[in-house]
Amino acid sequence: MYLKHIPSVVKPLAKDFIFDLPNDRNAIYLTFDDGPHPEITLEVLDLLDEYEAKATFFLVGENVRRYPDIVERITNAGHAIGLHSNSHISGWKTKDEVYFADIKASAEVISSNLLRPPYGEITLSQAKALKKEYKLIMWSDLSADFDASYSSEQCFAFATKKVKAGSIIVFHDNEKAKPRIIEALRLSLAFYRDKGFCMEPIQL
């Protein structure tokens, strides 16, 4: 069970985290977790270019070491990058010292002050320590493209139904999302463009 949209009542209770970035520019923030992937990330980049959209890629250190050329393409295209750990571990299931070491390992190959905890799972002690160095970026809307029980059209609906200026929307450029991500993203990008949203990278 997981939430596709973060209720507003959650935000005051989790002040260490950023769930959205309200603004008067009608800007929204597309984010992609778990890459880089040798096929999907490239397709995502092509789609973003087609719609003149900029995004933020939360990268896994192990994947960055495998595909550094794709990371270079991401940054050269004007997208932002952030940390998504080194080995995609859950903070809830990991001792603090092991979790911090994993984040540190990802920081060796990802230069950013943005961090999204894998699965959104991080303990209070981990958050309090890491917020001294990183902006902890969560999300307002989850496409659920990793979930095989949904279709691309349903993921599109999750990614657009409640979007508004400042929304941070999560997609995944990983193997689990492969059957759904490209069509869901294509539909979403067309929707955002038609609604007059500008799609910007996260820069804090």
Q: Provide the annotated active-site residues.
A: 33, 172
For the chain, state the CA radius of gyration.
16
**How far from 10 is each of 16, 33, 162, CA to CA, in Å?**
12, 22, 16
Contacts of residue 166, defined as CB under 8 A and 6 or more positions apart, other chains included, come to 20, 21, 22, 23, 27, 28, 29, 140
Q: Would you say 6 and 179 are in contact if contact means Cβ atoms under 8 Å apart?
A: no
